[in-house]
Chain A
Amino acid sequence: MIGTEHDPQEVTRILFRDFPLWMMVVFYMAAVCALGSFAYGTYAQIRKYRRGVRSGAWSPFVERFVGMVRDVLSHRTVKRRDTSAGIAHAWIFFGFGLLFIGTSVITLEYDILGPLTGLTFWHGRFYLVFSLILDVAGVGLIGALLYMMYRRKWLGLPKLDYARPDRIPEDPDYDRSFYRREDWAFLWILILIAVTGYILEASRLVWLQHDATVWDYRWWSPFGAIIAHFLQAVGVGSEGGAEFRMGLWWFHGLLAFAFIGLIPYTKVKHIFTAMGSLMARDPDAKCHLPMADVDEEKIGFSELTDFTDKYLLNFDACTKCGRCHEACPANAAGYPLSPRDLVLSLRELADDKLSDVRLPEGPIEICGDGVNQIRPETLWSCRTCGACTEICPVGVEHLPMIVQMRRALIEEGEFDPVLQPTLRSLQKSGNALGESRRKRPRWTRKLDFAIKDARAEPVEMLWYVGDYASFDPRSQKVTIAFAEILHEAGVDFGILNEDEQTAANDVRRIGEEGLFQAIAEANIELLAECDFKSIVTTDPHTFNTIKNEYPELGGTYRIEHASAVLERLIREGTIQIPKNLSYRVTYHDPCHLGRLNNGFEPPRHVLSELGADLVEMPRSKDNSFCCGAGGGRIWLPEPPELQKPAEIRVQEAAEIGGLDVLVVNCPKCLNMMEDGVKGSGNENNFRIMELIELVAEAMTAGKPGQDDGAQEAVEVA
């Protein structure tokens, strides 16, 4: 396509042609101002982050950098659970990125490389191809920006609603309309820059329509060319084009400079903060809480400067996408907690207190009723379900922050007094239910065989029973059923009897770190004296902490959840089950087994082996909706005026027509859902059963001459 009447090397971007000297001077001054503003802003932000405790979260640097680049280029995290927003964001990101790089390359050549080395490359075929790519990218950018506007204005997405559950309208910091204005300003600036870019290109074409090195190649910028033809059609000539070009050139250029200069002071900075935050992301943040030295002077976060640099960066990385807000069970049930608003409050507190040249005198208290402070009831509303931390596209780690702040509250005694007997019972007897140590193995009396004492003799499998499974009357039935299944399957297993204490997952999550460590250490010491190959537990909380948190305290074990053991025993044929349960069931993933530890498949395999007809709820697997028990919330009463998360969940299951059983897989879920099924008026519609109970039922039904248990199955079949 390159013609022959001229040297193809002459084809290039017309940049400053016809500019008088003063214009050049003004242009460069504007450029210097923009860069200066950017540089100072960046410095001030970094200074703010460095006022936190050093975390070292960015090392090993190269590895983390490569991982971050992979996440950013694939847009993996941005696309999750919102594909259209993810794709639109990708168009904006790549469109903007390419246009930015294109413009920077020109600058590089024109201002630096050219004058210094005489090297130029911004012409000829390279220029044309690049020009075509940029033209397409620009259209993608504009399309995506328009979609984002449509999404904000017309889709009415609850997650983009900035109403705060943790404040009432009378509170001075209730209003977040600033963010809404900023969002719109951001979209408008970008769209204006992009659109003026096109018209600028078109007017340049019109202006230089007699210059073959420009006009002949116009279709390498197809969209610009179309607009150029349109301009011609409405009667704009070469001169008009020139005037147009001059005006637009300045408008476009100054807007772009303003944009660059404002990056560190506005939400635009998320381009960088999100990358930094993704780089520092701890993949285990949802299931493994940060270790603390309990002998230190203080524990947890009570002042803003107790936060690490990484968390301070997290605050600024948040893009208010609302995914955490939408996923949070506490928020959904009307509790005064939204992980998004928590992070934004902390961001505003940090902007307010840590941005000056000097730090303010005295401690910057985080918790309290003041502006931008976090209210204790907000922190106590959390179920540590990890949904926020897991879904956040920019790697904000709300969950460990919340627990760190709880640690300080526990130390201060700032918590609901009803929690005190629970904590004292844990200190005294190693369980949360106020029961004596001796009582722990009492459920075994209902068995017609003896369970081995793992403290006294070697066993293949050590069963860590857990608090609720040991003491809660409803769960005891499941515990007994599991013992019978293991016994029938001929598994060599044993328990720790009265020496077992809670594994303390929830003790850690409520914020009693000292007690967690003491109990965990005692457990590890006890386990060290026992001879076993692997641990099994029916309790996902126990599973989580032993698997993910005990190794740091010196206890590394092979541990399986009961559902995985059942799946294995069935697969290996140790347990024979006729596919005879023709229930229509749905399955509730326990957070601590599913989202936190990816235990999604074994329970589903077991259900299919039983012959059950599994219908998934809209929210399942990684998006499972917490029953509300986690983080020690099971120990705290739910205020009667609020809906319980379990009721919301049971209602979700009830939407599935003709459901027989809502299958749970955790003693705490069982406890909550049994409540929820009553609270939501569904107790006559379907039953709540543990996976283990279904297996036991199928096994009994499968046995000849034992049609007691089979009755029910037959009835339904």
Chain B
Amino acid sequence: MKILVAVKQVSVLDDEFEMRDDGRDVDEDFFEKDLNEFDHFAVEEALLIKEASGGEAEVVIVTVGDDDADDALRTALAKGAERGVRVWDDSLVDADSVTIAKVLAKVVEREDPDMVFTGAQSVDFGHAATGMALAGLLGWPHAAVVSKLDFKPGDENATIHRELEGGLEEIMSVTCPAVLSIQLGINQPRYASLRGIRQARQKPVDELDLSDLGLSAETVKAASRVRRMYAPERGQAEIIEGSVAEQAARLAEIVKELRGA
């Protein structure tokens, strides 16, 4: 029994930043790197299943990213996963969700897991598409924003809960293997101590490039591309102070100004 968890190293933006010269992203200097928040929950869910089964499952973490992404991978490994897979090729720099899913699909073929978890979305770009695309490529069932999961190794079906609009809750049954995108709050992710992360360096990580997976730069060419990224002018806010009469007067003034009177 094997659970594969796909994780991503995300960029966390500083509150003051500058754009890259090509205007298609923020300058790297203004990022801090971290394991995607949603992925903490996905990893935890896999570990909980493993622990509940008395360690009968193997949890494998996979990420697509350069050396830098090792930190995220080690963090996930430190929590208790068995081993990791990291895929990188410079041609993946501009990869979109579907391209990443293509790579992941090859990893899934290689690893042959019984279940694949991803975070519901990444906190930096938030496409929420990788899991879905991966399931599509594999021809597996997919469930998005899973908020509760009932599954143990050997089960043919997994029972999942999803929270819908209007406070509705949906209970679904999916046939395994499946790709599940895990929602925040499904569990309480454990903390990976720095010592644990350091010791996770001893855990095996397969470093693969495209050719190892039978892919090439051509096959992973992104079909979508960011054209421009910019911060639109901000609206203005003002806290109006003073007595009620003063406040009313100021309000009237603003309304007049905006109407262009």
**Contact A512:B193 (CB < 8 A) given known A294-B198, A295-B198, A429-B32:** yes
Number of A residues, CB within 8 Å of B:
24
CB neighbours of B14 from chain A (8 A): 436, 438-439
Instruction: Mark interface residues in B1-28 (1 if CB within 8 Å of A CB, else 0).
Output: 0000000000010111000000000000
- Near B by CB (< 8 A), chain A positions 398-427 give 410-411, 413, 415, 417, 419-420, 423-424, 427
The chain B residue with its CB closest to the CB of A292 is B195
CB neighbours of A419 from chain B (8 A): 191
**Contact A512:B194 (CB < 8 A) given known A295-B199, A436-B14:** yes
CB neighbours of B188 from chain A (8 A): 417
The distance in angstroms between the C-alpha atoms of A420 and B197, with both chains bound, is: 15
Check B196 against A514 for contact (C-beta < 8 Å): yes
Check A428 against B195 for contact (C-beta < 8 Å): no
Q: Does B230 contact A (CB under 8 A)?
A: no
Q: Does A518 contact B (CB under 8 A)?
A: yes
CB neighbours of B12 from chain A (8 A): 428, 436
Q: Does A51 contact B (CB under 8 A)?
A: no
Complex partner residue of A514 from B15, B16, B193, CB under 8 angstroms: B193
**Contact A515:B32 (CB < 8 A) given known A417-B188, A436-B14, A439-B14:** no
CB neighbours of A413 from chain B (8 A): 190-191
Check B198 against A514 for contact (C-beta < 8 Å): yes
Q: Does A64 contact B (CB under 8 A)?
A: no
The distance in angstroms between the C-alpha atoms of A518 and B29, with both chains bound, is: 22
CB neighbours of B209 from chain A (8 A): none
Check B32 against A410 for contact (C-beta < 8 Å): no
Check B194 against A436 for contact (C-beta < 8 Å): no
The distance in angstroms between the C-alpha atoms of A299 and B195, with both chains bound, is: 9
Check B32 against A437 for contact (C-beta < 8 Å): yes
CB neighbours of A294 from chain B (8 A): 195, 198
- Near A by CB (< 8 A), chain B positions 28-86 give 29-30, 32-34
**Contact A420:B196 (CB < 8 A) given known A428-B34, A429-B32:** no
The distance in angstroms between the C-alpha atoms of A295 and B197, with both chains bound, is: 11
CB neighbours of A467 from chain B (8 A): none
Q: What is the predominant secondary structure among interface residues of chain B facing chain A?
A: mixed
Check B196 against A411 for contact (C-beta < 8 Å): yes
**Contact A436:B191 (CB < 8 A) given known A428-B32, A514-B196, A514-B198:** no
CB neighbours of A436 from chain B (8 A): 12, 14-15, 32
Q: How many Å from the CB of A524 to the closest CB on chain B?
A: 16
CB neighbours of B189 from chain A (8 A): 420
CB neighbours of A415 from chain B (8 A): 191
**Contact A515:B15 (CB < 8 A) given known A295-B198, A295-B199, A429-B32:** no
CB neighbours of B30 from chain A (8 A): 438
**Contact A423:B199 (CB < 8 A) given known A436-B14, A438-B14:** no
Check A515 against B191 for contact (C-beta < 8 Å): no
The chain A residue with its CB closest to the CB of B31 is A436
Q: How many Å from the CB of A165 to the closest CB on chain B?
A: 28
- Near A by CB (< 8 A), chain B positions 154-210 give 188-191, 193-199
CB neighbours of B193 from chain A (8 A): 410-411, 423, 512, 514-515
The distance in angstroms between the C-alpha atoms of A179 and B197, with both chains bound, is: 46
The distance in angstroms between the C-alpha atoms of A411 and B195, with both chains bound, is: 8
Please report A residues at the B interface, Cβ cutoff 8 Å: 294-295, 299, 410-411, 413, 415, 417, 419-420, 423-424, 427-429, 436-439, 512-515, 518
Q: Nearest 6 A-B pairs (CB), nearest first?
A: A514-B195, A515-B194, A514-B194, A413-B190, A436-B14, A294-B195
Please report B residues at the A interface, Cβ cutoff 8 Å: 12, 14-16, 29-30, 32-34, 188-191, 193-199
27 contacting pairs across A/B (C-beta < 8 A): A294-B195, A410-B191, A410-B193, A411-B196, A415-B191, A419-B191, A427-B197, A428-B12, A428-B32, A428-B33, A429-B32, A436-B14, A437-B32, A438-B14, A438-B29, A438-B30, A439-B14, A512-B193, A513-B195, A514-B193, A514-B194, A514-B195, A514-B197, A515-B193, A515-B194, A518-B194, A518-B198
17 A-B pairs besides A420-B191, A424-B34 with CB distance below 8 A are A295-B198, A410-B191, A411-B195, A413-B190, A423-B191, A427-B194, A428-B32, A429-B32, A436-B12, A436-B14, A436-B15, A438-B14, A438-B29, A438-B30, A512-B194, A513-B195, A514-B193
